A and B are shown apart, each in its own frame.
Chain A
Amino acid sequence: MNPRHLLTVARKELRHVLRDGQTLGIILSLPVVMMFMFGYALKSEIEDARVVVVAPRADDETRAFCAALDRNLQFEVAAVETGGDPATLMVRHRARAVVVLQADMARNREDGPVLFSVLIDGSDPGTATTLRAALPAFIRTQHFARNGIDPVRLIETGPRFLFNPDQKSALFFVPGLMATILAMIGTLLTSVAIVREKETGTRANLQLSDLSASEIVVGKLAPYFLIASGTGVLIMVVGRLAFDVIPQGSLGLLSWTTAIYLVVALSMGLMISTIVEKQQHAMLLALGITMMPTIMLSGFVFPRSSQPAPLQILSYVVPATWYLQIVRGIVLKASTLRDLWIPITVLAGQALLILSLASLRFSREH
């Protein structure tokens, strides 16, 4: 391989990208826009959820309970009622939940349990799941506190989350978006860049030149590798500044494993370019094989364990499945090479396989 030839192709390719302001703008803004979209869409934390309290008598205890509920940042007391149908109340007060205190709180304080029931608006599954855990827990804590029992000691016995104790959604979606966006951008840019030359006829210039097929492949992939790497850095920086995602593990490990993942993405783009003849087809194929499998199958949004067996098997083929394990491991658990050798080996194998197949097909066309 002649470095002068590589530089020629790489410089030409970089010029195309830099001169096409719109594409460049999309490449840079897409990750940021997606991060903020996911940041709010996937948000599992609740804030000021409206709650209706139904208590038979408005005594001091009830008022104290309502005040405490209202003070908590997660909830807001929408109304206090003495009775009525919970469903009607929920709709009338636009509430997410109704808490029905079934007995006189003051009298039951020492002798026997306080009976309460919590009814949750199930029409919004996201909020419902969070409320189901948060609201009863809050009421129990409140009760223990009033009876002089240290709630912390009791709550200790319940399940706790390690690695993401607050269940911050950013810690889920930042690694997931790394996997999704890098695959999309890497595959899309490469396939379109090569197919464009087929479409316009400029490919013949390269074919008739002194350049070898491998020089063209490496020269063409290098700039897109740099651009996709830049996108990866951008995602981590936005994650750090806007969503407080601080990787617990080694950035060096994260960098080189991400480089392997990018080789997979770029090779898929190269492969596509040897199959289709039109930019539009390249674009659709690139998005089709990267976006949906990465979001649906890799375990980014839906747990793989709850997928039917055929899809679980298919998910082993999706590179993002392995990369996601690596990024989540490094970002959340400070995992090391020793913990991650299996997904890293599989990913490297995929990179090698797809790159060789795609290069072979490309040189045959050359």
Chain B
Amino acid sequence: MKTPEANSSDLSIRTRALTRRFGTFTAVDGIDIEVRRGEIYGFLGANGAGKTTAMRMLCGLLEPTSGEGEVAGFDILRETSRIRTRIGYMSQKFSLYPDLTLRENLGLSAELYDIPRRQVAERLRDAAHRTGIEPLLDRRTGDLPWGWQQRLSLACATAHHPSILFLDEPTGSVDPLSRREFWDLIRSEASRGTTIFVTTHYMDEAEYCDRVCFLVDGRVADVGTPGELKRRHAAQTLQQVFLDLARKARRS
């Protein structure tokens, strides 16, 4: 790894030889990653490269087959319950209840975490304000277009003030304009000191990241700032870097 050595207290996420097998298939194959506090860390790769599997292990939703890791200073094998309360998670799949109103969805996600009762109302107002969903709070969630639902998802994932926000292909089926607006929200989250760990396969989005990690066949193929990567691969765009790395893939 050519990443500069970082003081471990500056790291939000650190893994050593993290591996997950499903039967004979090795989805994540001994990855070592280091994510610094407050950075936007892009996790890139083709479909099936192991992005979601790796992320689910970091969140404590999936047990690793071998290897170790720390998230927010806690062990991902033994301290999953402490990790859970310090992270926010927004999945590519829709994770809101369509039959509830926005207010109810938001209220529920606050209640699911032990936010002190006195602070709940203020937290919710704040989350709704940051994501701009205030005028729609009493609408039924399922009735709103995707872009707004994504904003609500973000509000729900951040209502308990997580120190790390995991975003699993957050802009999956959103139009380009909403995508740009959504990235503005992500960047303002990061500017408040939240570490952002985001998977995507949109290479234009990868340009917004402070650092990018390319995953190929469950292994880390290369890591660096978008500029470093482009220089190293003599490429104009991250798209070309991706194609250069993906050519060596055996899967897919």
| A binding-site residues for B, Cβ under 8 Å | 4, 8, 12, 15-16, 19-20, 200-202, 204-211
Instruction: Tell whether, in the assembled complex, residue B112 and residue A209 are in contact, meaning their CB atoms are under 8 Å apart.
Output: yes
Chain A proximity mask over B90-109: 1 for CB below 8 Å, otherwise 0:
01011111011000100011
Instruction: Tell whether, in the assembled complex, residue B99 and residue A20 are in contact, meaning their CB atoms are under 8 Å apart.
Output: yes
Q: How distant is A167 from chain B, measured CB to nearest CB, in Å?
A: 48
Given contacts A16-B99, A20-B99, A210-B85, contact A205 B112 (CB under 8 A): yes
Instruction: Tell whether, in the assembled complex, residue B95 and residue A202 are in contact, meaning their CB atoms are under 8 Å apart.
Output: yes
5 sample A-B contacts, Cβ–Cβ < 8 Å, listed by A number: A12-B104, A204-B61, A209-B84, A210-B85, A211-B112
Instruction: Tell whether, in the assembled complex, residue B99 and residue A207 are in contact, meaning their CB atoms are under 8 Å apart.
Output: no
B59 within 8 A of partner (CB): yes
- Chain A residue numbers with a CB within 8 Å of B111 are 4, 8
CA distance A205 to B91 in the complex (A): 10
Instruction: Tell whether, in the assembled complex, residue A202 and residue B89 are in contact, meaning their CB atoms are under 8 Å apart.
Output: no
Instruction: Tell whether, in the assembled complex, residue A201 and residue B94 are in contact, meaning their CB atoms are under 8 Å apart.
Output: yes
B60 within 8 A of partner (CB): yes
- Chain B residue numbers with a CB within 8 Å of A209 are 84, 112-113
A interface: dominant SS: helix
CA distance A202 to B89 in the complex (A): 11
- Chain A residue numbers with a CB within 8 Å of B113 are 209-210
Select from chain A the residue with minimum beta-carbon distance to B166. A208
Instruction: Tell whether, in the assembled complex, residue A208 and residue B99 are in contact, meaning their CB atoms are under 8 Å apart.
Output: no
- Chain B residue numbers with a CB within 8 Å of A8 are 108, 111-112
B interface: dominant SS: loop
CA distance A8 to B99 in the complex (A): 16
CA distance A208 to B82 in the complex (A): 10
- Chain B residue numbers with a CB within 8 Å of A206 are 112
**Chain B count of residues within 8 A CB distance of the other chain:** 24
- Name the interface residues of B98-146: CB closer than 8 Å to any CB of A: 99-100, 104, 108-109, 111-114
CA distance A15 to B111 in the complex (A): 15
Beyond known contacts A8-B108, A205-B95, A210-B85: 14 more, CB 8 A cutoff: A12-B104, A12-B108, A15-B100, A19-B100, A201-B94, A201-B95, A204-B61, A204-B91, A207-B84, A208-B89, A209-B113, A210-B81, A210-B112, A210-B114
Q: How distant is B125 from chain A, measured CB to nearest CB, in Å?
A: 19
Q: How distant is B156 from chain A, measured CB to nearest CB, in Å?
A: 8
Instruction: Tell whether, in the assembled complex, residue A208 and residue B93 are in contact, meaning their CB atoms are under 8 Å apart.
Output: no
Instruction: Tell whether, in the assembled complex, residue B112 and residue A19 are in contact, meaning their CB atoms are under 8 Å apart.
Output: no
CA distance A20 to B97 in the complex (A): 12
B87 within 8 A of partner (CB): yes
Instruction: Tell whether, in the assembled complex, residue B97 and residue A12 are in contact, meaning their CB atoms are under 8 Å apart.
Output: yes
CA distance A200 to B98 in the complex (A): 10
CA distance A207 to B87 in the complex (A): 12
Q: How distant is A335 from chain B, measured CB to nearest CB, in Å?
A: 44
Instruction: Tell whether, in the assembled complex, residue B108 and residue A208 are in contact, meaning their CB atoms are under 8 Å apart.
Output: no
Q: How distant is B138 from chain A, measured CB to nearest CB, in Å?
A: 14
- Chain A residue numbers with a CB within 8 Å of B93 are 200-201
Q: How distant is A218 from chain B, measured CB to nearest CB, in Å?
A: 15
- Chain A residue numbers with a CB within 8 Å of B156 are 205
Instruction: Tell whether, in the assembled complex, residue B100 and residue A208 are in contact, meaning their CB atoms are under 8 Å apart.
Output: no
- Name the interface residues of B52-101: CB closer than 8 Å to any CB of A: 59-61, 81, 84-85, 87, 89, 91, 93-97, 99-100
Which of B81, B89, B97 has the most chain A CB atoms closer than 10 A to its own CB?
B97
Instruction: Tell whether, in the assembled complex, residue B84 and residue A201 are in contact, meaning their CB atoms are under 8 Å apart.
Output: no
Instruction: Tell whether, in the assembled complex, residue A204 and residue B84 are in contact, meaning their CB atoms are under 8 Å apart.
Output: no
Given contacts A8-B111, A205-B112, A208-B84, contact A16 B97 (CB under 8 A): yes
Select from chain A the residue with minimum beta-carbon distance to B93. A201
User: Of B61, B96, B109, B114, which one neighbours A207 at CB under 8 angstroms?
Assistant: B61
Instruction: Tell whether, in the assembled complex, residue B96 and residue A208 are in contact, meaning their CB atoms are under 8 Å apart.
Output: no
- Chain A residue numbers with a CB within 8 Å of B81 are 210
- Chain B residue numbers with a CB within 8 Å of A202 are 95-97
User: Of A201, A208, A210, which one neighbours B87 at CB under 8 angstroms?
Assistant: A208
Q: How distant is B147 from chain A, measured CB to nearest CB, in Å?
A: 18
Select from chain A the residue with minimum beta-carbon distance to B98. A200
Instruction: Tell whether, in the assembled complex, residue A210 and residue B84 are in contact, meaning their CB atoms are under 8 Å apart.
Output: yes
Select from chain B the residue with minimum beta-carbon distance to A199. B93
Q: How distant is A270 from chain B, measured CB to nearest CB, in Å?
A: 20
8 tightest Cβ-Cβ pairs between the two chains A and B = A201-B93, A209-B112, A8-B111, A19-B99, A210-B114, A208-B84, A201-B95, A210-B113
CA distance A204 to B114 in the complex (A): 17
Given contacts A15-B104, A19-B99, contact A205 B109 (CB under 8 A): yes
CA distance A12 to B100 in the complex (A): 9
CA distance A283 to B156 in the complex (A): 30
Q: How distant is A207 from chain B, measured CB to nearest CB, in Å?
A: 6
Chain A proximity mask over B13-30: 1 for CB below 8 Å, otherwise 0:
000000000000000000
CA distance A204 to B166 in the complex (A): 12
User: Of A4, A16, A200, A208, which one neighbours B94 at CB under 8 angstroms?
Assistant: A200
CA distance A47 to B213 in the complex (A): 82
CA distance A211 to B84 in the complex (A): 10
